A = this chain, B = another copy of it.
Amino acid sequence: MDEFREAYEGRRVLVTGGLGFLGGNLAVALAGLGARVSVLDAMIPLYGGNLFNIEPVRESIDVSIADVRDAEAVRKAVRGCEIVFHIAAQTSHVDSMTDPFTDIDMNCRGTIVLLEAVRAESPGALVVYAGTRGQYGAVASPPAGEDTPFHPTDVYSADKAAGEAYAFVYRRAFGLRACSLRISNAYGPRHQMKHSRYGILNWFVRLALDGRTIRVFGDGSQLRDYHYVDDVTRAFLLAGSRPEAEGQAFNLGGPSPVRFLDMVREVIRAAGSGSWETAPWPEERKAIEVGDFAADWSRIRAALGWEPRVPLRDGLARTVEFYRKYRDRYWTG
């Protein structure tokens, strides 16, 4: 990522959710580029926050353990920041259906708390929002471009769409600088490995490494876009540093759509262990399943030169290698 050194060296940046999967990978990259990195993370049990995620750069990062809904803590955290990567969120599609109120509280209200803090403390800062392909929901004819209308299939995705809208509303109304990345299915190191409620690919990596059986719901034929976390990190770094990104929402996607079952086979191949079987869809998963999905990421390629560089097989090899090495940091606790 050395191409970004000039853009980030000495810059004051905040990463909300910075001890989690996307946030932790980004924080490590930013610290490596010489940025002055603060992270804000609530460390809510099972949400994916893990201090080990920033272990390589622990000494150079300022860590606040605080919730994005805590207005005072957020104001303090954004003070003096030039770029705010807003990644903190409730990220489980399934949990948003069993507890929609918490999702609204974190993903809607929490985003407003963040935007109000930026407005009050660092009105010139750029907010890079972590959106999701879920905003599109069930798409009649993939791939989905950025102008595809939203038909979210779960509360989480509806709330992420609202959060993104708020960022652009604040941009228009109050002059905040904002952009959004609509992330597909990211996988790789630093993801939580304790449960299957989000990051299903990573969960399968755990099952395979443990020599267990991966259960594939339905026939596994649905298309998905998987992208390795380093590709997402590079997109964040581009969005945070390139003026052309400001005001835009960009799709991210994988090198090419992959059938769910083929992904499972690749996971087992990379792990060298594990097996799979099919099973009927559980009701709560079927209810929010969107069918085939692929993102059209030609807009960010044209605007910022981004494209996914890591093929699934390579990304899985790196993921397996990471978790083999640090299994004790992710399997338990």
A104 and B112 form a contact (CB under 8 A): yes
* CB neighbors of B among A285-308 (8 A): 287-288
Residue pair A172, B153 in contact (C-beta under 8 Å) = yes
Task: Chain B residues near A100: list those with CB within 8 A.
Answer: 112, 116, 166
Please, which residues of chain B bring their CB within 8 A of the CB of A151? 165, 168
User: Known contacts being A101-B112, A108-B108, is A165 close to B161, with CB within 8 Å?
Assistant: yes
Q: Mark A128-160, 1 if CB is under 8 A from B, else 0.
A: 000000000000000000111111111101110
Bound CA–CA A152/B166 (angstroms): 8
Q: Which residues of B contact A109 (CB under 8 A)?
A: 101, 104
How far is it, in angstroms, between the C-alpha of A173 and the C-alpha of B153 when the chains are bound? Answer: 8
Chain B residues within an 8 Å CB radius of A172 = 153, 287-288
Interface status of A7 (Cβ within 8 A of chain B): no
Looking across the interface, which residue of chain B has its beta carbon closest to that of A174?
B287
CB pair A152 B165 closer than 8 Å: yes
Tell me whether A44 is interfacial, beta carbon within 8 Å.
Answer: no
Asked if A162 CB lies within 8 Å of chain B CBs, one says yes
- Residues of chain A at the chain B interface (Cβ within 8 Å): 97, 100-101, 104, 108-109, 112, 116, 146-155, 157-159, 161-162, 165-166, 168-169, 172-174, 287-288
